Amino acid sequence: MSRFVLITPDTDFSHRAKEAVSGLHGTLQTISADYLPPGPDDILRILTGEPVEVILMGPNLPTADSISLASLFDLQYPEISVVLVTTNESEVALPAMRAGIRDLLDPSADVYTIRTMLERASLAAAGRRRGLGNSVESQPSGGRVIAVMSPKGGVGKTTITTNLAVGLAKVAPMGVVVLDLDLQFGDVASGLMLEPERTLADAVVGAAVQDSMVLKSYLTLHPAGLYALCAPLNPVEADKISGEQVAHLISQLASEFEYVVVDTAPGLGEHVLATLEEATDAVWVCGMDIPSIRGLRTGFSILTELGLLPDHRHVVLNFADRRTGLTLQDVEATIGCPVDVVLPRSRAVPFSTNKGVPLLQDGTRDPAAKGLGQLVERFKPNWEQRPHKKLHRRAIVQ
């Protein structure tokens, strides 16, 4: 059960917060006070019952004291999410983020808004607990950066990206961010049914470049428990973003999240090469047609010469259909390596794309969803140490 704590002298807000928590799994404990103790332990020692997940500070508490105490919570108890209830959001946003405050809430917020905020903060707390529980030895340099690649367009790259991100969010709630690097015509926002207030164009300039907490405020939260940084709304802005900026952005995100899933543009342009410099994994997508398959073979050859192939390679064959006149063995013989995941042609996929709800979020049992689930499995902790079925023998086509 979630456990929520509210510190405030405001009885009206306390009443609304209590009503909001009644729709969640958990309880609310209210501390009626107009001041804050000097440290987190002074609060935690008077609480009983379940472990604390979310602490709301305010309204009508000294803002400076709230930010100071929140920074101590972030240092000593990072698994607890702190929400600051204040009317001065624009003035305290930056120092609040630097102090590790999860979110800001207006004191006049209605019950529904408070409930939504608590749900988000609770998910964030769960993600932090999971991250703290994982062994740091498996990922010494930060989160995994998964680049979803294809030399050719139209092979379902964005659909695979969004489903992979949703699937990984079940493994690491609030520990996944999907980055749309198809800067001119990216579709991650529509694929996840999001309307971002900020985009990648905002994240590579200004304060976000220097401060990861500011960068986090530019991300858009998805109901599946993941974050998204979407492509610029105006394709012209893509020309203003350099490969160096992209590399720095990915490095920032990898230091904050367990998984960074990058939807790249078709081809091997500047931004794609910058992504590969940072990537730990590459998901290579090709359709069941000759141009797509040959393009993948050529891409492998070029990147091998440049030394830019990530350590971990995952090949996905999309739109698999025997009626194309090609077999799986034909594809493997052409590209020179095994196919790891096969996604059959499915009517459910375009339907889910048009609806803006990925298959792995919808819970459908479509065969394509099974294949997408197999792809997600490959990125779970210790997957390589688990026993797997032997890959089938490849056939050489004359």
Domain CATH code at residue 9: 3.40.50.2300
Same domain, 214 and 307: yes
Report how many helices (DSSP H) and strands (DSSP E) the chain contains, helices first.
Answer: 17, 13
Same domain, 87 and 221: no
Number of domains in the chain: 2
Same domain, 211 and 343: yes
Preceding amide of 59 cis, omega within 30: yes
Tell me if 397 is assigned to some domain. Answer: no
What value does the mean pLDDT take over residues 25-41?
87
The residue among 91, 107, 133 that closes a domain is 133
Tell me if 117 is assigned to some domain. Answer: yes
Flag whether pLDDT at 312 surpasses 70: yes
Same domain, 68 and 196: no
User: Which tens digit of pLDDT belongs to each residue from 150-205?
Assistant: 988 889 999 999 999 999 999 888 889 999 999 988 999 999 999 998 999 999 98
Same domain, 76 and 154: no
Of 376, 260, 362, the closest CA to residue 316 belongs to 376
> Which structure tokens are listed for 27?
């309880």
Tell me if 391 is assigned to some domain. Answer: no
**Contact of 232 with 148, CB cutoff 8 Å:** no
The residue among 133, 149, 180 that closes a domain is 133
Tell me if 393 is assigned to some domain. Answer: no
User: Which tens digit of pLDDT belongs to each residue from 155-165?
Assistant: 999 999 999 99
Same domain, 72 and 26: yes
Same domain, 222 and 318: yes
Please state the pTM of the whole predicted model. 0.68
Q: Which of 219-223, 280-284, 331-335, 381-385 has the lowest mean pLDDT?
A: 381-385
User: Which tens digit of pLDDT belongs to each residue from 258-299?
Assistant: 999 999 999 889 999 999 999 999 999 999 999 999 999 999
Domain CATH code at residue 287: 3.40.50.300
User: Which tens digit of pLDDT belongs to each residue from 206-253?
Assistant: 888 888 777 888 899 898 889 999 999 888 888 899 999 999 999 999
Q: Cα separation of 329 and 334, whole Å?
A: 9
Flag whether pLDDT at 360 surpasses 80: yes
% of the chain residues with pLDDT over 90 = 51
- Give the domain range for residue 348: 137-385
Same domain, 153 and 246: yes
Same domain, 190 and 45: no
Same domain, 129 and 156: no
Q: Cα separation of 386 and 342, whole Å?
A: 20
User: Which tens digit of pLDDT belongs to each residue from 94-146?
Assistant: 888 788 888 889 999 999 899 888 887 887 777 666 655 554 343 445 789 99
Q: What is the pLDDT of residue 138?
A: 39
Flag whether pLDDT at 3 surpasses 90: no
Q: How would residue 394 be classed by pLDDT, with cut points 50, 70 and 90? A: very low
Flag whether pLDDT at 74 surpasses 80: yes
User: Which tens digit of pLDDT belongs to each residue from 216-226?
Assistant: 888 998 988 89
Which residues 6+ apart lie within 8 Å of 110 measured at CB? 16
The residue among 133, 152, 169 that closes a domain is 133
> Which structure tokens are listed for 100?
């590790």
Of 70, 144, 76, 126, the closest CA to residue 103 belongs to 70
Q: Cα separation of 155 and 143, whole Å?
A: 27
Same domain, 119 and 18: yes
Mean pLDDT, the chain, as a whole number? 86
Q: Cα separation of 307 and 111, whole Å?
A: 55
Same domain, 121 and 143: no
Which residues 6+ apart lie within 8 Å of 26 measured at CB? 1, 2, 3, 4, 50, 53, 122
